[in-house]
Chain A
Amino acid sequence: EDQVTQSPEALRLQEGESSSLNCSYTVSGLRGLFWYRQDPGKGPEFLFTLYSAGEEKEKERLKATLTKKESFLHITAPKPEDSATYLCAVQVPGGTYKYIFGTGTRLKVLA
């Protein structure tokens, strides 16, 4: 069964304390992996798309990487405004719009 698991469920960091969020997947034929940021009471906001193992994308303090079994979202020197829930989703065969979303990592960055 296709599955997406994000860890940890929640993470508290001090401002400036770098860390990584994990998204592991078990799917038969990855067609793309997506990272989103979701603020409380808001819809998810698109961050990155990764297609193949070894690919990396960066945006400000965020860097996403992809291997054959997992993706990492690295947060370098985070600030309180980086506090949010980070979601990953994978697109799998079986339907053009067949996406599986993880349950997210709730990140809190303390000043």
Chain B
Amino acid sequence: NAGVTQTPKFRILKIGQSMTLQCTQDMNHNYMYWYRQDPGMGLKLIYYSVGAGITDKGEVPNGYNVSRSTTEDFPLRLELAAPSQTSVYFCASSTRDRTYGYTFGSGTRLTVV
């Protein structure tokens, strides 16, 4: 059981470039999330989805886009990368029941230069 898989693990982008962070889960969870984690800061929610075809903004959505065409996949798109997007990005999934918390992927460390 793989859980939540994120690719790539590391990436360096130049300012203005675009990229897609991939996230897939094999637990049949309806709910999926993208967070970013910066040093000294708590995890911040970028976007979330409650099911295929449904997405919504979190706290810090500017500069990002998402799509959810299947239950398993929830890619995060960065358009026109900026240094402020240098961060570690985590994808997570969950059931509707809060009791079991979130299952997180291992993260993507992104540097924008």
Q: Which residue of A lies closest to B100 (CB)?
A: A46
Q: Which residue of B lies closest to A100 (CB)?
A: B42
Q: What is the interface residue range for chain B against chain A?
A: 20 to 34
Binds A, one of B14-22, B62-70, B73-81, B104-112: B104-112
What residues of A have a CB within 8 angstroms of the CB of B92 in the complex?
43
- B8 at interface by CB-CB < 8 Å: no
A31–B99 CA distance with the chains assembled, in angstroms: 11
Question: CB distance B107 to A97 under 8 Å?
Answer: no
Residue in A31, A41, A46 whose CB lies within 8 Å of B102:
A46
Question: CB distance A45 to B107 under 8 Å?
Answer: no
Q: Contacts A46-B102, A49-B101 known; A103 to B4 CB distance under 8 Å? A: no
Question: CB distance A43 to B105 under 8 Å?
Answer: yes
Binding site of A, secondary structure by majority: helix, strand, loop or mixed? strand
What residues of A have a CB within 8 angstroms of the CB of B98 in the complex?
31-32, 34, 49, 91
Number of interface residues of A (CB under 8 A): 23
Question: CB distance A97 to B33 under 8 Å?
Answer: yes
Q: Which of B90, B102, B103, B107 has the most CB of A within 10 A?
A: B102
- A102 at interface by CB-CB < 8 Å: yes
CB distance from A98 to the nearest CB of B (A): 8
A110–B42 CA distance with the chains assembled, in angstroms: 26
**Complex interface residues of chain B between 1 and 19 (CB less than 8 A to chain A):** 4
Of the A-B pairs whose beta carbons lie under 8 Å apart in the complex, a sample of 15, sorted by A's number, is A4-B42, A31-B98, A32-B98, A36-B101, A41-B106, A41-B107, A42-B106, A42-B107, A43-B4, A43-B90, A43-B92, A87-B43, A89-B42, A89-B43, A101-B42
| Additional A-B contacts beyond A87-B43, A104-B42 (10; CB < 8 A) | A34-B101, A43-B92, A43-B107, A44-B104, A45-B104, A49-B101, A89-B43, A97-B31, A97-B58, A103-B40
